Amino acid sequence: MRPTTLRTAGGVLALAALVTAAGCADRGAVSEDAADYPSKDITLVVPYQAGGASDLAARTLAEQLEQELGTSIIVENRTGGAGSVGLQHLASAPADGYTIGYLPVETVMLGFQGYEVDPADYDLIGQMVSVPATVAVPADSPYETLGDLVEAAEKEPGKITVSNSGAGSIWEATTAALGEATGTEFKPVPFDGGAPAVTAAIGGEVDAVIAGISETAPAHADGQLRVLAVFDEQPSESLPGVPTAAEEGVDVVMGGWGGIGAPAGLPDGVKQALEEAFEVAASSEEFTAIITDSGSIPVNVPADEFASFVQSETQRFEGLLSDRG
């Protein structure tokens, strides 16, 4: 080895030693007092892949939370098992406030689909996004209203095909709920993701699609799809003139949502600090602007309200998903 190479190697070695020393320092932290929380980096577990809608919501909120809490938040994507891998990882992390996670609607569904996920394993901090379900038909479809579609299904139960983003998804559950509420049956056709499901409807492969508003609204605006109804309490700004399902006589309110949670058993002080930071972060202009632009609806539901919402959702999915199991 020539002297220059040796010197370079020595330099790299020194750098490595430095990095090691710096890295070890923050690991040395001992048991935490709620008063000085947070005193080190916080990890935010996202149970889905980087780049998706959930990831976007989580990362955007993390940026705002960082400013509020005055510490770095490292977003960690733990994917797999329809989200259950990341959710289980979160549930088994120490309840010290240094591991928090993104909780999607699947948190209350997976338990009824053969995964070991229980919403009771989490302390809820707050809900920040909502993605109401929509039902849409191809632009040249004969069905002009939700009533037309239901009527067609009543004529031939189980013949009207409705695409969704995947087996076991909230959108497939919405299809089942729509059938149950109207006393008929639609045939769900699961695809690999929301975009292919919407494409199938644009291309006329299926009679209709049930997907999140962020996925159908752009195609509606372009005239490729016709959204018949939004499964929400009020009409959406991004779909002017489109009624809610209730206005069309179908009492179904359903959709995806996302919030922040932590492993159950947080110290009170830590939980309060997180809740306060969440409230500011979720109502920040930056957060609401990015979420609105992405087509979802930013909300800011405080912990106690979120907890009772999760409870009612759990009961509802127990009824909806267990019948078919």
Partner 1 sequence: MAAARPSAPLRELVPALAGAAVAVGALVLAAQVPEKTGLTSFSPRWWPEALAYVLLGLSVLHAALALLRPRATAELPDPASRTGALRLTAMLLAVLGYGVLWYFVDFRVSTPVLLAALVHLGGGRGWKALLVFPAVVTAVLYLLFGVLLKVPL
Partner 2 sequence: MSPLVEGFGSLLDPTVLLCIAAGAVLGMLVGAFPGITATMAVALASGFTLSLDPLPGLAVLLTIYVSANFGDRVPAILVNTPGTPASIATTFDGYALAKQGRAGLALTASAFASAIGTFAGLLLLMFAAIPLSRLALQFGPAEMFALVAFGLTMMVGISGGQIVKGLMAGALGLLLGAVGRDPITGDPRFTFGVLELSDGIPFIAAIIGLFGIAEVFDQILTHRTGSGPAPITQFGRWFPRRSDWRVMVKPLLVGSGVGGVVGVVPATGGDIAGILAWDQARRVSKHPEKFGKGSLEGITAADTASNATLGGSTTTSLALGIPGDSVMAVMIGSMIVWGIQPGPSLFTNNPELVYSIAGIMIVATLLALGLSLLRMRSVAKLLDLPRHFLWTVILIFCMVGTYAVNNSVFDVGVMLAFGLVGLFLRRFSVPAGPVVLGLLLGKLAESNLRRALEIGGPSNILTSPLAMAILTVSLLALLLPPLRAAWRRRRTAGAAAPTR
Contact pattern from residue 85 through residue 124 relative to partner 2, giving x for each residue in contact according to CB under 8 A and a dash for the rest = x--x------------------------xxx---------
CB of 161 to partner 1, least distance (A): 10
CB of 32 to partner 2, least distance (A): 24
Contacts 24+ apart (CB under 8 A), 32-37: 32/96, 32/97, 32/98, 32/267, 32/270, 34/267, 34/268, 34/269, 34/270, 34/273, 35/269, 37/97, 37/269, 37/270, 37/273
Binding at 161: pick from partner 1, partner 2, none (beta carbon under 5-8 Å per type): partner 2
Helix (H, G, I), strand (E, B) or coil at 219: helix
Contact pattern from residue 168 through residue 207 relative to partner 2, giving x for each residue in contact according to CB under 8 A and a dash for the rest = x------------------x-xxxxx-xx-xxx-xx-xx-
- Please give the residues from 226 up to 285 whose contact with partner 2 meets the rule CB under 8 A: none
Whole-angstrom Cα distance, residue 281 to residue 289? 12
Phi, psi for 300 (deg, rounded to 5): -145, 85
Out of 8, 20, 39, 49, the residue judged to bind partner 2 by CB under 8 A: 49
Work out the end-to-end distance of the chain between its first and last CA atoms, rounded to an integer number of angstroms.
67
Binding at 218: pick from partner 1, partner 2, none (beta carbon under 5-8 Å per type): partner 2
CB of 300 to partner 1, least distance (A): 27
- Please give the residues from 52 up to 91 whose contact with partner 1 meets the rule CB under 8 A: 74-76
- What is the DSSP code string of 34-77? GGG---S-EEEEESS-TTSHHHHHHHHHHHHHHHHHTS-EEEEE
CB of 56 to partner 1, least distance (A): 17
Part of the chain binding partner 1 (CB under 8 A), chosen from 17-25, 59-67, 202-210, 312-320: 17-25
Nearer Cβ to partner 1, position 28 or 223? 28
What is the total count of residues that contact partner 1 (CB under 8 A)? 21
In one-letter notation, the amino acid at residue 158 is G
Establish if 27 lies at the interface with partner 1 (CB under 8 A): yes
Nearer Cβ to partner 1, position 142 or 157? 157
Whole-angstrom Cα distance, residue 46 to residue 71? 18
Establish if 50 lies at the interface with partner 2 (CB under 8 A): yes
Establish if 288 lies at the interface with partner 2 (CB under 8 A): no
CB atoms within 10 A of CB 113: 17
- Please give the residues from 172 up to 211 whose contact with partner 1 meets the rule CB under 8 A: 185, 187-188
Establish if 9 lies at the interface with partner 2 (CB under 8 A): no
CA distances from 177 to 73, 180, 267 (A): 38, 5, 39
DSSP element (H, E) containing 228: strand 225-230
Binding at 325: pick from partner 1, partner 2, none (beta carbon under 5-8 Å per type): partner 1
Whole-angstrom Cα distance, residue 247 to residue 245? 5
Which tokens in the block code for residue 221? 């605006």
Contact 86, 79 (CB under 8 A): yes
Binding site for partner 2 (CB under 8 A): 49-53, 55-56, 59-60, 75-82, 84-85, 88, 113-115, 161, 166-168, 187, 189-193, 195-196, 198-200, 202-203, 205-206, 218-219, 221-222, 224, 290, 293-295
